[in-house]
Amino acid sequence: MKRLLSLHAGLVFAFLYLPILVIVALSFNQSRFGVRFTGFTLEWYARLFSNERILEYLTNTLIVAVVSTAVSTLLGTLLAVGLVRYEFRLKSALRYLLYVPVVVPDVVMGISLLLLFDVVRDAIGWPRLSLFTIILAHISFQIAYVTLVVRARLVLLDPTLEEAAKDLGATSWQTFREVTLPLIMPGVVAGALLAFSLSLDDFVITFFTAGSGSTTLPLYIYSSVKLGIRPEIHALSTLMVGATILVILLGVLFWKKR
């Protein structure tokens, strides 16, 4: 039984990594077509870096991810605090609204935001589809994830700590800043990291809310793939996988230290 389980696990991991490894290998392959390895080359990486647009797409991707993560982390953290600490009307309606971006298929969320921007633009002539609309769209799905991650941390918090602070004369704001926030910080950081990676990963919602001049890396990969495979995309994919692994390892080191 144990052996069967190990064999199964081995095959599943092979399945998970084989396609990625093929891309990595091909990014160093001299042959432009096919999978036969004809020799080592860095030509595709050189071509990738000589394409000035790539830098622009990378910058766009990072601008969207950084700005949307900052806003959604702030809004989501506050939302989680309010949901856990206070009772108010329509609270359960708000909780259900929070699950909508998590469960609704990307394509539906994408077209609904496209329609919203279109309706508003018809009315007041603004905003045209751009990095700005992509950022608005990303915040809209990130908020839910940040809120739910921070809330999971908040409900574990001992409420007597906050009561003690208030008994010692701290105002609500002081209590939040000096007691609550430091205690939920790991949750806030985890929520922000999740929001950031969701933004980097997103293709579908970006696809519907992007305009000309706001191409991100996933949009670029999509259009290149549609035009036919190019070894430069192998190189770009390899670099992105490498960056992903690096960030995950840094994250693991960060958590281990704490």
Partner 1 sequence: MREAATPAQRLRRVLLTVGPGAFWLVLFVLVPTLIVLVVSLMSRGSLGQPVPPFGLHNYVRFFSDPLFLEIIGRSLWIGFWSTLLVMLLGYPLAFYIAQSRYKEVLLLLVVIPFFTNFLIRVYAWIVVFQKEGLLNALITAFGLPPGEFLPSTLAVYVATVYTYLPFFVLPLYAAVERIDWSLLEAAYDLGARPVRAFFEAIFPQTLPGLLAGFLLVFIPAVGTFVIADLLGGGKVTLVGNLIQLQFGSAQNWAFGSAASMVLMAMVLLGLWLYARTQGERGLDRLV
- Closest approach, Cβ 72 to partner 1, in A, equals 9
Nearer to partner 1, 63 or 170 (CB): 170
Interaction between residue 246 and partner 1 (CB under 8 A): no
Site size toward partner 1, by CB under 8 A:
90
In the chain, how long is the greatest CA-to-CA distance?
A: 74
Residues 105-134 that bind partner 1 (CB under 8 A): 105-109, 111-116, 119
8 A C-beta contact, residue 230 and residue 19: no
H or E element that contains 147: helix 131-154
Stretch near partner 1 under the rule CB under 8 A, chosen from 26-34, 39-47, 49-57, 124-132:
26-34
Interaction between residue 136 and partner 1 (CB under 8 A): yes
Stretch near partner 1 under the rule CB under 8 A, chosen from 38-46, 48-56, 123-131, 238-246:
238-246
8 A C-beta contact, residue 117 and residue 129: yes
Interaction between residue 46 and partner 1 (CB under 8 A): no
Question: Residue 242 is which amino acid?
Answer: G
Site string for partner 1, 144-173 (x = CB under 8 A): xx-xxx--x-------------xx-x--x-
- Closest approach, Cβ 180 to partner 1, in A, equals 11
Q: Provide the 10 A C-beta neighbour count for residue 172.
A: 12
- Closest approach, Cβ 165 to partner 1, in A, equals 10
Q: Of the candidates 183, 186, 203, 211, which one interacts with partner 1 according to CB under 8 A? A: 203
What would the two tokens of residue 182 be?
Answer: 């430091």
- Closest approach, Cβ 161 to partner 1, in A, equals 15
- Closest approach, Cβ 158 to partner 1, in A, equals 18
Stretch near partner 1 under the rule CB under 8 A, chosen from 41-49, 50-58, 123-131, 231-239:
231-239
Total H helices, total E strands in the chain? 12, 0
Stretch near partner 1 under the rule CB under 8 A, chosen from 40-48, 50-58, 62-70, 91-99:
91-99
Q: Provide the 10 A C-beta neighbour count for residue 122.
A: 8
Distance between CA atoms of residues 60 and 67, nearest Å: 11
How distant is the alpha carbon of residue 70 from its chain centre?
Answer: 12
- Closest approach, Cβ 225 to partner 1, in A, equals 5
Question: Residue 206 is which amino acid?
Answer: T
8 A C-beta contact, residue 26 and residue 232: no
Interaction between residue 139 and partner 1 (CB under 8 A): yes
Nearer to partner 1, 63 or 75 (CB): 75
Question: CA distances (Å), 42 to each of 25, 26, 52, 73, 147, in order?
Answer: 11, 11, 18, 39, 44
Q: Of the candidates 42, 55, 66, 102, which one interacts with partner 1 according to CB under 8 A? A: 102
How distant is the alpha carbon of residue 103 from its chain centre?
Answer: 16
Q: Provide the 10 A C-beta neighbour count for residue 170.
A: 16
